[in-house]
Amino acid sequence: MRKWRDLVVAVTAASALSLTVGCASLLGGNKAREASRAVPQSFGALATAVGPSVAVQRQWDQFFADPDLRELIEEALKNNQQLNIQLQEIIITQNTVAGMRGQYIPRLDASAGGGIEKVATYASQGASDAAHGVPNPLPDLTFGFVASWETDISSRLRNARKAASSRYEATIQERNFLLTEIVAEIANSYYDLVALDNQIEILERTVGLQKDALEVVKLKKAAARGTELGVVRFSAEVLKNQGRRFSLEQRRIVVESRINFLVGRFPRPVKRNAQHFMSANVDVVATGLPSELLENRPDVKAAELRLDATKFDTKSAKAAFYPSLRLDAGVGFESFKPSHLIDTPQSLVAGLAGNLMAPLLNRAAIKADYRSANARQIQAVFDYERSILQAFTDVYNQMTAISNLRQRYEQLFQQVEALHAAIEVSKALYQSAQVDYYEVLMTIRDSLEAEMELVEAKKQQLQAVVAIYQALGGGWRRGP
């Protein structure tokens, strides 16, 4: 026993000395470092609040006021195929963790077997068996239990399990990030849809105005106060806008189909209320502190967990340089006669063995695995730092977008009001022959384009709020 203990100590010491001397030069200048978690203290002068971010204040079912939009999101969370695929990925990684645990706990198997052996009569074994009355051929019946245990004295298997566990948690965060993206995409598509509804309604109203103006131009021509050119120009403008309507209708069909796809159903009409679109309030979004992104953003959390996994992978690869100890034991019964199979202690067999292995020479594969694990850890460091940078940049960009879109909407709103008044003025002046048909035509055209832009600006405002909500890490939580 003392010799065995001395051997373990000697082998372990030799491996540790070799590892200490070799690992420093093995990695060269490509050594892993800790990731930087530093972020700016604030999002700058455009930050709307310094309190908790909206992602913490309100969940998605509280954030979106439109009940039709909430219903679409609710259905998507149940039926979206990509979410369900990611759920299966979570189950797969969970089973991987469970399988890794089984590698470092003792294993116990039951065994049973039978066979027959015939030896040559004129061989030494055959002559001995004949002298002692041993049958030839000789049956062999066994059953019993076999135990084995990889003691994992270097924690190689435990670190591998911790790496698998971190990856399992990362897949949960990846599903949360996917959920955030789906919630945002449904909301953006919904706003696309109701914006198209409004634009089509504006186009139809404008075509009505142009038809009315066309009748006036025809009457003035009939009264010899106008020309055929005015009639043709107004007719062409009506036809142009009627054709434009079909283009908007096709866009509406595509957006509606996209929403149905995200919800996990075949194309059908999407329930929505477009009447209150232009009067919808654009919420003020509290950005909170940049440091909250590290906890709120699922993609940042996933990158951090993947980094943890690579750290454990590196430890596991490094542990391969240390000795490993395997213990094997067995107990059971063996006999050449079934009637004597369970006789005790005559048929009882047992065994115990220990195997200590340590790599000393030809360790090229272990070195390569260790260098690769170290490189993957460095990759994960950069990936984590990039995810933090991306998160901050996303919020900053959307903050500037909200500010600029608000000012653009206000300018467009004033422009539309002015052009609505200009239409009435131009119609009155045309009827009194103070301006020609071209002024009326261009005023109606300018008003149409301004109204279309105003709807687009409102849509972009609402989508910018969705984008900053997503950038702050909202959309994957749900309130009780």
Mind giving me the DSSP string for 369-401? HHHHHHHHHHHHHHHHHHHHHHHHHHHHHHHHH
Q: Where are the domains of the chain?
A: 36-104+154-187+283-323+365-471, 107-151+324-357
Q: Which fold has domain 36-104+154-187+283-323+365-471?
A: Outer membrane efflux proteins (OEP) (1.20.1600)
3 state DSSP class of 84: helix
pTM over 0.75: yes
- pLDDT at res. 189: 96
Query: Quick one: which H or E segment has residue 166?
Result: helix 156-222
Total residue count of the chain as it appears in this document: 480
* Phi, psi values for residue 35, rounded to 5°: -75, 145
- pLDDT at res. 45: 56
User: What is the torsional sign of CA 304, 308, 311, 317?
Assistant: negative
SS percent in the chain: helix, strand, coil, step 5 = 65, 10, 25
Q: Three-state secondary structure along 242-303?
A: HHHHHHHHHHHHHHHHHHHHHHCCCCCCCCCCCCCCCCCCCCCCCCCCHHHHHHHCHHHHHH
CA dist 323 and 31 (Å) reads 24
Which positions of the chain have pLDDT values less than 70? 1-25, 44-58, 220-221, 223-227, 283-287, 430-437, 478-480
CA dist 463 and 194 (Å) reads 12
Alpha helix positions (H), 105-150: 124-131
- pLDDT at res. 50: 47
- The CATH class for the domain spanning 107-151+324-357 reads mainly beta
Strand partners, 147: 108, 329
Strand partners, 149: 327
Helix axes 156-222, 228-263, angle to 10 degrees: 160
- pLDDT at res. 354: 87
